[in-house]
Amino acid sequence: MKKISIILLLAFGIVASCTKDFLQTDPKGLVLETNYYRSRDEVFAGLVAVYNRLSVEAGGGDNTYSNKLGPLNAAADECWAGGANSTDMVFWQVWNNYTLSGAVGPQASFWKIDYEGIYRANLLLQKIQGDIPDLVSGERARFTAEAKFLRAYYYFELVRLFRNIPLITEPLSQEQIYEQVQATPEAVYAQIEKDLNEAIPDLPNIVAPADNGRVTKAAAMALLGKAILFQNNDARMGEAASWFDKVNSSPQYSLVPNYADIFSPLNEFNSESIFEIQHSAAQIAGWWAWGNFMGNVYVHMTGPRSYNGPLYESGWSFNPVIPAFVNSIRNDPRYRHTVANIDSLKAAGQATYAAAYQNTGYFVKKFAPLKQFKAPDGEPALNYPNNFIEIRLADTYLMEAEALLRSGGDVGKAQLRLNQVRARVGLAPVQATLERIYEERRLELATEGHRWFDLVRTGKAPVTLAFKGFKAGTHEVLPIPLNELNNTKLVQNPGYN
């Protein structure tokens, strides 16, 4: 029998070692859960295990590549799925052309990874209440807050992707797992808000450089504002705006002057980064590390196939950029930092590459496999060090501007936030309207995994994505993974039966 994917899979022996970053601590060895969480070090290792699910890129429910960024880009109007052919990464292809089914799609990996994170958070939150003699009160409060933030984050991912999900806030026995039913989205969002409100007081304003990657008050406040915004209740938009303002008005954050620097591995945890997910080449991973590697494989996936030329390494040609999107951003200052025009290099006689499936000649620039970051050891595809900024300041500026307009709030402040984003890249100020804010999000955050969610939550997806086969009333969510329906009380999302 198949059980819901919230299995006990502690990462004490999985988290990679070899760097000073807290997410890459020395392996602790596999230990039975019943004998664990008895010291400060064991509790901290448990916390690392909760964080670990953020950066996992493979080995989900279908044991395939499971990073969300590529499939989300393929599902939106910025990129095609690409790859070698129409069956290469079929899980991307079916979201790209909206032929998803319960059996075929990216959902099995997303579901399993997020519920593993939730299970680990629930377990830690239970165990940390016990007698741990060398755990001081301040650490207990902070570790608890971090676990609650992470549980909220994993639930936010799940409710946005699936809408109808089980809500589980404590470790379950095997018998209880089969009895779980789906909660309402409202109940899930209420739990997300509860966790974040409880976490905020005990999270630090800043972290030491060695702790980069651990969450702060600003990360929790930004996620709380975002969770309220995504519920689409205009009566609460003022509340969302107030949370964003707490972040946006903080002196510890500022827009990075040079737009391109936001995405460089040389500029990790920059002044614009509010919540950043780490990757590392220090593991020197080979294919033996499948499912547990710490590098950013998406970087290699976006590179042009069989490429020979300047700047870039060869890759697998996924997520070629759609020409219609290229035309819409071509005259924007962010174009050259968003789109890599490989055909222009080819036409100039500077490069060659193999045109793969759905090739357009345009490739994702923000995560391109630059030669300077190719790992000298291990399998290069598995060892790119590029972090991913899940929430950055330009994003929260634009969300605050949107929430202010939707609440009937301070239009002047909404205009300020919108034009701060534009001014950073040398664009003239404009009057703030919702449509202009949405367009600014499209250009500012292109290929960063936000577009599909924005289209769905604003109701624009059926029209904007009609050319890909999007069907209203079905494709706003993913199907529940077919295997998760077997011998459980879960029911499939509408349109996927």
Evaluate whether residue 355 is within a structural domain: yes
What is the number of domains present in the chain?
1
Evaluate whether residue 156 is within a structural domain: no
pTM strictly above 0.75: yes
Residues of the chain with pLDDT under 70: 1-34, 60-62
Evaluate whether residue 262 is within a structural domain: no
> How many CB atoms are closer than 10 A to CB 203?
22
What residues contact 249, with CB distance under 8 A and at least 6 apart? none
Evaluate whether residue 378 is within a structural domain: yes
Evaluate whether residue 285 is within a structural domain: no
CB 220 within 8 A of CB 199: yes
Convert the pLDDT of each residue in 225-251 to its tens digit: 999 999 999 999 999 999 999 999 999
Query: Domain of 337?
Result: 292-389
> How many CB atoms are closer than 10 A to CB 131?
6
- Beta-bridge mates of residue 89: none
- Per-residue confidence (pLDDT) for residue 17, from 0 to 100: 30
- Per-residue confidence (pLDDT) for residue 32, from 0 to 100: 58
Convert the pLDDT of each residue in 171-229 to its tens digit: 998 889 899 999 999 999 999 999 999 999 999 999 999 999 999 999 999 999 999 99
Q: Which parts of 380-485 fold into alpha helices (H)?
A: 393-407, 411-424, 434-444, 451-457, 461-464
- Beta-bridge mates of residue 362: 341
Give the position of tokens 């996620």: 223
Q: What's the token pair of residue 31? A: 């230990």
Evaluate whether residue 322 is within a structural domain: yes
Distance CA 45, CA 207 (A): 18
Task: Please give the full DSSP string across 16-35, using - where no structure is assigned.
Answer: --SSSSGGGPPP-----GGG
Q: β-strand 388-392 against 273-277: which pairing, if any?
A: antiparallel
Evaluate whether residue 310 is within a structural domain: yes
- Per-residue confidence (pLDDT) for residue 62, from 0 to 100: 67
Evaluate whether residue 55 is within a structural domain: no
Distance CA 327, CA 79 (A): 13
Nearest to 295 by CA among 403, 183, 379, 200: 379
What residues contact 7, with CB distance under 8 A and at least 6 apart? 116, 119
- Per-residue confidence (pLDDT) for residue 385, from 0 to 100: 97
